[in-house]
A and B are shown apart, each in its own frame.
Chain A
Amino acid sequence: MASNAAVPFWRAAGMTYITYSNICANLVRNCLKEPHRSQSLNRETVHFAVSKWAAGQPEKPIFD
């Protein structure tokens, strides 16, 4: 099994546990039957604006 390796494959790919679990959760959502599938996919919308600060000044916000 891949997860038995010294470093799990997803961490070797530069993912955090959160990214990994989100991808897994999304896979499960995609496996649902139709009314529930679109419902659960619509529920989990991601939207926010992040701006990094450098030397007391905000940089341009990045939208996710």
Chain B
Amino acid sequence: MAMAALRREGRRCLSPLTSPNPIAAAAAAAVRSSLIAEEQAPCGVRSISTQVVRNRMKSVKNIQKITKAMKMVAASKLRAIQTKAENSRGLWQPFTALLGDTPSVDVKKNVIVTVSSDKGLCGGINSTSVKISKSLYKLNSGPDKETKYVILGEKAKAQLIRDSKKDIELSITELQKNPLNYTQVSVLADDILKNVEYDALRVVFNKFHSVVSFMPTVSTVLSPEVVERESEAGGEVGDLDSYEIEGGETKSEVLQNLAEFQFSCVLFNAVLENACSEQGARMSAMDSSSRNAGDMLDRLTLTYNRTRQASITTELIEIISGASALEG
């Protein structure tokens, strides 16, 4: 709702004065008000109308109020989600210790899972994850290779639909209507696993560092067959044979379970980190926009006062010269 109001305000105030230069703005206001004065003011009124500037000041003030409110909302949401995101890091760290992280693995079927937000006004986090996804796509495309996108969130969908809609396999939205939880993300991970064929899943998300900084990150989840192949070849994947397997399950079964669980954990962390970065980015974006609104308000106040003073001076000169004409 706040966003809609903001958009409306923005449209309304874009038209009259867009010049950042106060003098040019004053001139524009003068031109405009003289046009309006002919329609609205009674005949013979020569003073410059300050109505336009006043209206604009009011709308800028309203925008500032909205951005300030959005910043507060983002800050409180951030606090709730930050602890969750930091706790969820413990879920994928054991997997990385066991299987290692192999972003450079070369396989045939790649699936890029792009994590983004549903809502905008949060700086550049969505375009960074889309950019990273596209470069991953280029890195992993080849004659006998196949790369597909799975998109989380409305914003990355809107960006990827433009040039690579042929490669989109799945898109998931409305993830953040309720507070994020593991069950939700694991059901989602299950849906993704059932609907795509993969050798490697590459999850692209923005890792939360601090309120003002986030890192675009790729985590790779390999399919069980690839893990087995890599560990036999003695590649980067850790030494699995040194682990004893309990029960009657074979290694491939254990690996399959492990890969599925790893994906759901990695995705859970990715979704949380991205949500956290989103709120942080929104907070700083709203902070700078309320600061900009304040600057604009200062400039407009200056223009307004100058125009007002000029009209008072003109009136005074008229009165004095009239009086002196009578005396003389």
Contacts and interface: CB of A to CB of B under 8 A. Distances in A.
Nearest to B188: A48
A52 interface: yes
Contacts, number: 93
A43 B182 CA distance: 10
Contacts of B165: 53, 56-57
B181 A50 contact: no
A64 B187 contact: yes
A49 B173 contact: yes
B190 A46 contact: no
Interface in A17-64: 17-19, 21-22, 25-26, 43-53, 55-58, 61, 63-64
A61 B151 CA distance: 13
Contact of A46 (B173, B184, B248, B260): B184
A8 B250 CA distance: 11
A4 B264 CA distance: 25
A44 B195 contact: no
Contacts of A56: 165-166, 168
A5 interface: yes
Contacts of B182: 44
Nearest to B169: A53
Nearest to A4: B248
Interface residues of B, number: 35
Contacts of B189: 18
Interface in B237-284: 247-249, 253, 256-257, 260-261, 264
A46 B183 contact: yes
A22 B195 CA distance: 19
Contacts of A16: 190, 193-194, 260
B172 A49 contact: yes
A3 B261 contact: no
Contact of A4 (B170, B190, B247): B247
B37 interface: no
B175 interface: yes
B174 interface: yes
A49 B154 CA distance: 11
A46 B187 contact: yes
B216 to A, nearest CB: 23
A25 B187 CA distance: 13
Nearest to A19: B190
Nearest to B178: A45
Contact of B181 (A43, A53, A55): A43
B190 A52 contact: no
A48 B257 contact: no
7 contacts: A3-B249, A4-B247, A8-B253, A16-B194, A17-B257, A26-B183, A53-B170
Given A3-B249, A22-B187, A53-B171, 13 more contacts: A4-B248, A4-B249, A16-B194, A18-B189, A21-B186, A21-B261, A43-B181, A44-B181, A45-B184, A50-B172, A56-B168, A58-B168, A61-B173
